[in-house]
Structure 1
Amino acid sequence: MKAMLIHNYGDDAVFEAAEVDTPEVKSGHVLVKIAASSVNTVDTMIRKMGQELPFAPDAPAILGMDFAGTVEAVGEGVSGYSVGDKVYGCAGGLADLPGTLAEYIVADAKLIAHKPKNLSMRESAALPLVAITAYEGLKRAGIEAGQKVLVHGGSGGVGHIAVQLAKHFGADVYATGGGEKQLALIQQLGAKGINYKTESVEQYVAKHTNGGGFDLVFDSVGGANLTNSFEAAALNGQIATTVSMCELDLTTAHFKGLSLHVVFMLIPMLHNFRREEHAEILRNVSQIVDSGGLTPVLDETHYSLEQAGEAHARLESGQGMGKIVIDN
């Protein structure tokens, strides 16, 4: 099969087209012909940082985590899938799991689900990593109908899904963005937009919560922004974050009695730990999509497998709006 390989990691790392053996299906897995895959920030981090990250695969490597495609073979012990089924998932591109920048992938059946009926392959491929991340964060933070929820980075890959899921779960949703395009998308998704460049945390907390703070803050920006999340949260509030590799002063979190939930959605893939929970989330996401509660936003660009490097560059440029998808 055709695959795009990384032979050396680093800032100047390039993808090279190669012919490699098509993987053979094995017990507990399915062989999928990939129709589309999407690019996530973690993919670009692996390409540049390589072995500095404990979960980077050994080079030469096939990167890429998200995919949508058609089942071509079903391994022993797998139930619920047949040849010809349309599926999606996040199942490779790190550690010892070959990735999705190829024509085929052998995916653990516990990491996939039937794709949403109402979405194309391209749209379905955009969802797995970001949808699992957003869903897990909101659920772990105990989202409930009627809560005031703030999403930091509401127009981003994870953020724009978190906004829609929070709405689906019945919350009153607000989201930060830094420009007209971002705020327009946030409003379009059904949340109230907050321009973090022109409004301070104190100002928007006063304006939208009468100074009481948000019941739940989903922080897809993280890092130094977590202090803004602590400031924006209500007493005994819940914070879910996807980016927490940093040193922080937790004093505000202490005096407010906040709970912090760190979401690292790669854990099931890396450690073969509760992988079936990812399949369950993806099944739930498919239902939410098909009921009209969630639609991924795709960047306007189109890339072929051979243009994987350009797709990575597009994500890193910050010029994209929505998920960047590759047509495999």
Structure 2
Amino acid sequence: MKAMSLKSYGETAKFELADIDEPTVTNGHVLVRIAASSVNTVDTMIRQMGQEQLPLSPDLPAILGMDFAGTVEAFGEGVTNFAPGDEVYGCAGGLIGLQGTLTELINADAKLIAHKPKTLSMREAAAIPLVGITAYEGLKRAGARSGQKILVQGGSGGVGHLAVQLAKHMGAEVFATDTGDKRMELIESYGATAIDFKRQAVSDYVAQYTDGAGFDIIFDSVGGQNLTNSFEAAALNAHIATTVSLLELDLSPAHFKGLSLHVIFMLIPMLHNHEREVHGQILAELAKIIDAGALTPRLDDEAFTLEDINAAYDRLTSGQAIGKVVVSI
């Protein structure tokens, strides 16, 4: 079958068209014909850094890609909830030991997938899994509920735009930081209050929107030094969920506010075969929320095919994409 393969890692590494053997369905797995995949930041990090810097990277030659939507062709022994012809979506490949989705077929662990939302196209569904699971897990671990004031850092990003919508669905009053007119408009379209972090200091928007008390929950999809801003914006005993905590940081501000910090690394079930069924359960719940009209993925305006994958990765790393970069297989 056709695939796009990496023969090396690094800043100049390029995907090349390759023919690889079709996978055989195994116990507890389903064979899915992939209709679409999407590009996530972690995918671009793997291409650039490789196994020396990022041990979760696949062996070379590597087939990357984690998200997918497609149609079940066969199922292995022990699978009872999927049948040929079912439309499914999930995040099930692209890591060490797991073939990626930049190809035509995947032998996916049935625990990691769910039936595709009925109201979404294959391309739209492929944009959901990694970022949707991340947003859902982060809000749930932080205890999101009705009546809270929740701040999403990076509210128009892949994870952020879904976190904004999920927080609204949970009944919270939602605020989100970003910059640029299009990104501000996107945040506002979800019923949240957009905050331009380049125009307004943390202390100013905390005073304006919380009377100086701070936000109950902060979902940080930006990471790095932005965690310091999140500490400043948080209320006493608040919860912060972050998806990017790869740095050394003085936790003193968090200590004096009694903050709870939740590090969200949604790849753990895939990497360690640990509670994989939770991902399938979250995807099933997200499908219900989507089909009820409370959650809609934002796809970037640029469309790509499998052979365009190098351009798709460049689009995401350029910082120009708004929403998810999706690849039709």
In structure 2, what is the Cα distance between the partners aligned to 1:326 and 1:118?
19
TM-aligned CA deviation for residue 178 of structure 1: 1.2
| AA aligned opposite 1:5 | S
2:314 aligned with 1:278 = no
Matches of 2:35 and 2:170, distance apart in 1: 31
Structure 2 equivalent of residue 144 of structure 1: 145
SS of alignment partner, residue 225 of structure 2: helix
Amino acid at match of 2:32: V
SS of 2:35's equivalent in the other structure is strand
Q: Which residue of 2 aligns with 1:23?
A: 23
User: How many corresponding residue pairs?
Assistant: 328
Structure 1 residue 269: deviation in Å?
A: 0.2
- Which residue matches 1:238? 239
Gap regions ≥5 residues in structure 2: none
C-alpha offsets along residues 167-207 of structure 1, whole Å, 9 cap, x if unaligned? 00000000001111111110011110001001000000000
Pairing 1:177-188 to 2, within 5 Å after superposition: 177-188=178-189
Corresponding residue number in structure 2 for 1:36: 36
Kindly state the Cα deviation for residue 54 of structure 1 after the two structures are TM-superposed. 1.2
TM-score (norm 1): 1.00
SS at structure 2 position matched to 1:217: strand
Within 2, Cα distance between the matches of 1:220 and 1:311? 21
Q: Provide the C-alpha distance between the structure 1 equivalents of 2:188 and 2:219, rounded to a whole number of angstroms.
A: 17
Match of 1:301 in 2: 302
> 2:293 maps to which residue?
292
SS at match of 1:24: coil
Amino acid at match of 1:163: V
Once residues 156 and 126 of structure 2 are traced to their aligned partners in structure 1, the CA distance between those partners, rounded to angstroms, is 18
Root mean square deviation of aligned Cα:
0.5
Question: What amino acid maps onto 2:179 in structure 1?
Answer: G
Structure 1 residues 97-153: Cα deviation after superposition (integer angstroms, max 9, x where no partner): 000000000000000000100000000000000000000000000001010000000
1:173 is paired with a residue whose SS is strand
Query: In the TM superposition, what whole-angstrom CA distance separates every residue of 1:284-307 from its partner, at most 9, and x where no partner exists?
Result: 000000001100000111111111
The 3-state SS of whatever aligns with 1:105 is strand
Which whole-Å CA distance do the structure 1 matches of 2:248 and 2:22 have between them? 44
Write the distance in 1 (CA, Å) between the matches of 2:30 and 2:139: 30
Corresponding residue number in structure 2 for 1:113: 114
Letter in 2 for 1:149: I
Q: How does 1:259-270 map to 2 (within 5 A)?
A: 259-270=260-271
User: How many percent of aligned residue pairs carry the same amino acid?
Assistant: 66
Corresponding letter in the other structure for 1:327: S
